[in-house]
Amino acid sequence: MFSKKVPRALVAGNWKMNGTTASLAELRLLATMLEGVELDCDVMICPPASLLTAAHKLTRGSIIRLGGQDCHPEPHGAHTGDIAAEMLKDAGASAVIVGHSERRITYQEGDGLVRAKAQAGHRAGLMAIICIGETLEERQQGQTMRIIAAQVKGSVPEKATGANTVIAYEPVWAIGTGLTPSPPEVGSVHSHIREKLSGLIGEHAHAVPILYGGSVKPSNAGELMAIDNVNGALVGGASLRAADFIGIIKAYS
């Protein structure tokens, strides 16, 4: 549909705190829909940690990769309720989302902690999907570019490369609301992210995929993917049903 992009695009679904074993039927359906299909993008599902092992079994032989939704910076220890990056890897994940705004806001996770979690992901051999994004108030005050620059600087490890890191730009006000920034707005933030990454990690910056996230659906995915420096999508609600998610994947490949 669109010319091949560099870096290779990634369409990742974040199931958030949704899904029991019954929901694996959607994953099975997605795997079936993708059988034998040639794609120009990678596909990932980040289910709740409780489903990772079963999801791993189910997606063996499929192009679907798996990710965790968060991790603790330490590899093990007395951290009740937390999960280590090494545990996610052991359960079949190849990536971990860190710094999602739902964690930054609900648990006051700052850039330093997000960076430590990304480093934990790297230590465990996982790709870190580092989320950044401004709130509605910050956008209205004209602070978007400053906030994004600070989050890149504070959250991205210096050893980030295209092989171990993905950035997801997710305006907080666009998540789960049906609202999205205009294509020129998305484009200007993504090129700003690329520029700030260059300042931080030099030539590696060009190989780091920058995903857009926030109310991505089959009907707007094509328009978003056509924007410069948009290398895929991080999808919440529309990743829960295989029929919706496949529509997004097709727009990106």
Catalytic residue positions, numbered: 100, 170
User: Cα separations (Å) of 108 from 130, 131, 144, 178, 253?
Assistant: 16, 14, 19, 25, 36
Dist. CA 151–CA 110, nearest whole Å: 9
Hunting for tokens 């979690």 — which residue is that? 117
Residue 118's CB is within 10 A of a number of other CB atoms, namely 28
Min CB(241)–ligand PGA separation in Å? 12
> Residue 68 pairs with which residues in a beta bridge?
96
Min CB(178)–ligand PGA separation in Å? 8
Examine residue 136 and tell whether it contacts ligand PGA (CB under 6 A). Answer: no
Sole binder of ligand PGA in the list 75, 110, 176, 199 (CB under 6 A): 176
Give whichever of 209 and 213 is closer to ligand PGA, judged by the CB atom: 213
Min CB(170)–ligand PGA separation in Å? 6
Min CB(136)–ligand PGA separation in Å? 14
User: Cα separations (Å) of 93 from 43, 60, 204?
Assistant: 13, 12, 24
By the 8 A CB rule, do 65 and 43 touch? yes
Span from 38-46, 198-206, 210-218, 244-252 in contact with ligand PGA (CB under 6 A): 210-218
Examine residue 14 and tell whether it contacts ligand PGA (CB under 6 A). Answer: yes
Applying CB under 6 A, the residues found at the interface with ligand PGA are 14, 170, 175-176, 213-216, 234-238
